[in-house]
Amino acid sequence: MNGDPDLPVVSLPVRSLASQNGHVSLSDPLPDAVAVEAPLEIRVDGRSIAVIMRSPGRDRELAAGFLLSEGVIASPADLFEVSLCPSATKGASVVDVLVSSPEKIDFDRLTRHVFTASSCGICGKTSMDAALAVHPPLPVDPSPIIDAATLFSLPDKQRAAQTAFSQTGGQHAAALFNTSGHLLALEEDVGRHNAVDKISGAALLAHRWPLSNSILLLSGRASFELIQKALAARIPIVASIGAPSSLAVSLAESAGITLVGFLRNHRANLYSHPSRLHLGS
């Protein structure tokens, strides 16, 4: 493997297999860009709570966003320090988070929840009730409002900024826009959940949270967990290039989030809270 293992892309030898007119050919090895996937351990006050498979880079942001979505923290004020652990074993990646009030954290509940959620062991209603208990629904009012023409322009802007995907075809993207369609941030990762956590974590660390006047665009489908993460970041409009799941639609409706799916080729499906979309004259 060539390249820095701490970077999100490495060069690997790859043989090309092709069939033409019934003849199958195999090329000599040629270098190809491949997305890196590597573990990141997240510790809170020195205690390990999760290991996440992710694209290396922006690890502090990923840890902060993950803890926000899990309800460990609720605002930038809850973070005392987020640092890369210098004492980690060589080749290992560890982020240690110091919180302002560690005595308020139920570590047993947290580790049980992370394990259960990762193994898809909880039912839809339980998941939704838990999400809304940790992160209250957004106010259902017309603001912010985005023009339909602006909404339709977002996928091309997102795709143009996906540098890692352009090299590998192997990363998901989450892009944050304002209501004028200006790209505020874009994160790429082998895990779609990680890309959203990096968006919200960066806002937390820069004291730009909540993201209440923003639109989140997902490069793939919209799952329940991604809507939950948008709710934690207080993002009122979520759009996806792909389809939403039924539970994502239910959570968006209950959480006061405008959910748009299949946003491509100047078409889209609107699933919840259409009052934030301006159709034009």
Pick from 59, 210, 232: nearest CA to 133: 232
Which one of 24, 120, 133, 279 is the catalytic residue? 120
Give the strand pairing for 267-272 and 258-264.
Answer: antiparallel
Whole-angstrom Cα distance, residue 199 to residue 183? 12
Our answer to whether residue 85 is catalytic in this structure is: no
Phi and psi angles of residue 26, each rounded to the nearest 5 degrees, phi first: -130, 125
Strand (E) positions, 66-199? 79-84, 94-99, 146-147, 172-178, 183-189
Q: Provide the CA 39 distance to its chain's centre, in angstroms.
A: 16
Whole-angstrom Cα distance, residue 120 to residue 155? 30
What one-letter code names the amino acid at 133? A
Whole-angstrom Cα distance, residue 247 to residue 216? 18
Q: Which residues have a catalytic role annotated?
A: 120
